[in-house]
Chain A
Amino acid sequence: MANSPPAIEVQRLTKVYKTTRAVDGIDFALAPGSITGLLGGNGAGKTTTIAMIMGLVTPTAGTVRVLGADMPRQRYRVLHRMNFESPYVDMPMRLTVRQNLKVFGLIYAVPDLSERIREIAAQFDLLDLLDRPAGKLSAGQKTRVSLAKALLNRPDVLLLDEPTASLDPDTADWVRGRLEDYRAEHSATVLLASHNMVEVERLCERVIIMKRGSIEDDAPPAVLLARYGRHTLEEVFLDVARGRAHLPEAAQ
């Protein structure tokens, strides 16, 4: 893996909306099979960064490469190997869970689709809900369906925007377990935007902290804790958000 080209590579990535610099010349590269947390307060540029990685937003400057393809220009070379989950998009509500998964399975050309739907439904405890309209599900059930859709095509690159935002602690913990299992089984590269520090500490081997469109810090969680002299990522996050610089060398 060490010599493999990055699964995601972002260079001097910039997005300007009229007079607002939503993302300001950021650089990072994610190794294949890695799981990285993207942290930042509201308006930090996380969602815009993810949207540019998916090819949903055209950068003002800079480049994004995913699995070797320039985004958004070459997006159709790799979109079938990617997927995405976010509380800001929904599955069609009048369609049943099975119908939704079937439609997306066909779009992604998932082989042995019926078997795959059964398999993913079992993994996300959706077997009893398959024939229920998506709109009749609870928030937690909907999130599980969205995650099932996100993993349906066995993506090599998975982008998650606050995947457990609407879940109770028990279900959120269970979902994190499923994500860990998926990543371990498929060596997928995962980029996870979250406000949940417990989640990031548990899942991520690396954390990128954004503030006002720029990268403020980028290191493994343990290194960040040492660098800021803190015990939790939440404290580190607050230090960054409130402009408290990390401790000097002594703390590193």
Chain B
Amino acid sequence: MSAHAPSAGGFSTRRVGAMVLRYWYLLRSSWPRMFELMYWPTVQMFMWGFLQLYISTNAGFFARAGATFIGAVLLWDILLRGQLGFSISFLEEMWARNLGNLMISPLRPVEFIAALMIMSLIRLAIGMVPVSLLAIAFFGFNLYGLGLALAAFFVNLILTSWAIGILVSGLVLRNGLGAESLAWTFMFLLLPLTCVYYPVAVLPAFMQPLAWALPPTYVFEGMRALLIEHSFRLDLMLEALALNAALFAAMSLTFVALLASARRNGSLMQTGE
């Protein structure tokens, strides 16, 4: 029999790198894919930026609060685009009918997920960096001026986006491309609940505990505290981090269960609808 390299005992950065390379080749070969990364964030940023300009012409609280809109839309896009970047890379395998090739290869699920996380960051950078620079040029909003707070916001939002991405990927693995729409719509369930554009206090009392159970709520509250009261709420960031750790672990376990279920019912062989 032929000689083989010994089987890697565990996690392999080479296999993760191979998958990142695969997605990079794909992005590089397709200008519509690259364009799409920047299109919606730019449109949203301009819409909310102009709304902010309009509101800021009024005096009082709303003039100050208006500055939070463009911050909120940029942070929301980190959450949404982070998850989409993860999920779309996964869906590319389903669309390409390549999942069977990967699933019978030495690539492990944890390596596949790590590659999807890295691609989420790359896609996010391609989409968000130009938009954040446009926000400075057009509206004088410097996201990077948030400094360390931005790092705390970013870490918490990207962890949530990956957790949701892992869940959606597991559901698509188990249920086929018929569940693809979840990739595009799931995060919007969080839009009203995580209070992106308004404080938690606005929600009815019975909905507030639900909002506080979601990590992004702490980020958006923290952002408003920073922009309106110039106060960095470390307590909110730590609570969000703890919730994210629990959410990430729960979604990872759910993914493992969905993958096992997909192996049992044969859905890995049928990657169509």
Contact, CB under 8 Å: A76 / B108? yes
Q: Which of B19, B21, B266 has the most CB of A within 10 A?
A: B266
Interface residues in B, total, Cβ within 8 A: 40
Instruction: Tell yes or no: A80 within 8 A of B by CB.
Output: yes
Instruction: Tell yes or no: B14 within 8 A of A by CB.
Output: yes
- In the complex, how many angstroms separate the beta carbon of B168 from the nearest chain A beta carbon? 21
Interface residues of A in 18-61 (CB under 8 A from B): 22, 32-33, 47-48, 51, 54-58
A91 contact set on B, CB distance < 8 A: 96, 98, 101
Stretch in contact with the other chain, from B4-12, B76-84, B176-184, B224-232: B4-12
Stretch in contact with the other chain, from A81-89, A211-219, A240-248: A81-89
Contact, CB under 8 Å: B100 / A108? no
Instruction: Tell yes or no: A154 within 8 A of B by CB.
Output: yes
Contact, CB under 8 Å: B14 / A109? yes
Cα A108 to Cα B123 in complex, Å, equals: 26
Instruction: Tell yes or no: B129 within 8 A of A by CB.
Output: no
Interface residues of A in 56-97 (CB under 8 A from B): 56-58, 72, 76-84, 86, 88-96
Interface residues of B in 12-32 (CB under 8 A from A): 12, 14-15, 17-19, 21-22, 25-26, 29-30
Determine the residue in chain A with the shortest Cβ distance to B97.
A90
Interface residues of A in 93-149 (CB under 8 A from B): 93-96, 99, 102-104, 106-111, 133, 149
Cα A57 to Cα B101 in complex, Å, equals: 14
Stretch in contact with the other chain, from B45-53, B141-149, B257-265: B257-265
A186 contact set on B, CB distance < 8 A: 1-2
Contact of B100 among A17, A22, A89 (CB under 8 A): A89
Instruction: Tell yes or no: A153 within 8 A of B by CB.
Output: yes
A110 contact set on B, CB distance < 8 A: 5
> Which residues of B does A touch, CB under 8 Å?
1-5, 7-8, 12, 14-15, 17-19, 21-22, 25-26, 29-30, 92, 96-108, 260, 263-266, 268-269
Q: List 6 A-B contacts (CB under 8 A).
A: A58-B260, A80-B4, A80-B5, A83-B104, A92-B96, A94-B29
> Which residues of A does B touch, CB under 8 Å?
15, 17, 22, 32-33, 47-48, 51, 54-58, 72, 76-84, 86, 88-96, 99, 102-104, 106-111, 133, 149, 153-156, 186-188
